[in-house]
Amino acid sequence: MTPGKATRVETGRITTDHRRPSKGSTIVVVIWSLAIAAVITAALQVISFRQATIGREQLAQVQARWAARAGVEQMIAIMGYYTENPEPENPMQMVDELENYSVGEVLTGSWDIRHYTDGQEWAGPMDEHGKANINLLSSMELLNLPDMTADVADSIIDWMDENDEVEGMGAEEEYYINRSHGYTPRNAPFRSIAEVELVAGAWPEFVRGEDWNFNNRLDPNEDDGNTTWPPDDPDGILQEGWAAMLTTYSIDGGMGMSGLPRLNLKEATSQEMMGRLDVDEAQAAALSNFAGQDNAQLASLLIVDLADLADTGNSSSGTALGNSMRSSAGTSGQSQQEPSPLTDDQLRLIFQESTLATLEQRSPGKVNVNTASAAVLEDLVGFEPDLVNGIIALRENRLGGITSLVDLLEVSGMEAGMLASMGAKLDVISNVFTISSKGRAFSTGTEVEMVVVVDRSTLPVKILAYREQ
Establish if 338 belongs to a structural domain.
yes
Domain membership flag for residue 102? no
**What's the pLDDT score for residue 114?**
96
In the chain, how many domains are there?
1
Q: How far apart are CA 170 and CA 151, in angstroms?
A: 5
Enter the DSSP assignment of 16: E
Residue 173 lies in a domain: no
pLDDT of 89: 87
Residue at 335 is within a domain: yes
* pLDDT of res. 254: 87
Identify the DSSP state of 109: E
What tens-digit pLDDT sequence spans the chain (469 residues)? 445 444 444 444 545 555 555 667 777 777 787 778 777 877 777 776 666 666 788 899 999 999 999 999 999 999 999 999 998 888 899 999 999 999 999 999 999 999 998 888 999 999 999 999 999 999 999 999 999 999 999 999 999 999 999 999 999 999 999 988 899 999 999 999 999 999 999 999 999 999 999 999 999 999 988 899 888 899 999 998 999 999 999 999 888 888 888 999 999 999 999 999 999 999 999 999 999 888 889 999 999 888 887 754 443 333 333 333 333 333 333 345 788 999 999 999 999 999 988 767 778 999 999 999 999 999 999 999 999 999 999 999 988 899 999 999 999 999 999 999 988 899 999 999 999 999 999 999 999 999 999 999 989 999 999 999 8
Cα separation, 242 vs 210, whole angstroms = 11
At 328 the pLDDT is 34
Q: Is the residue at 34 inside a domain?
A: no
pTM of the model: 0.83
Residue 355 lies in a domain: yes
- Spatial separation of the C-alpha atoms in residues 364 and 250, rounded to whole Å: 6
pLDDT at position 423 is: 87
pLDDT of residue 263: 92
341 found inside a domain:
yes
Q: How far is CA 125 from CA 217, 254, 433, 450, in A?
A: 11, 19, 6, 12
Please spell the DSSP secondary structure of 197-252, one letter per residue. Answer: GGSTT--HHHHHTT-TT-SSS--GGGSSTTSSSSP---SS----GGGGTEES--BS
- Give a yes or no: residue 255 inside a domain: no
Residue numbers of the domain that contains 292: 263-361
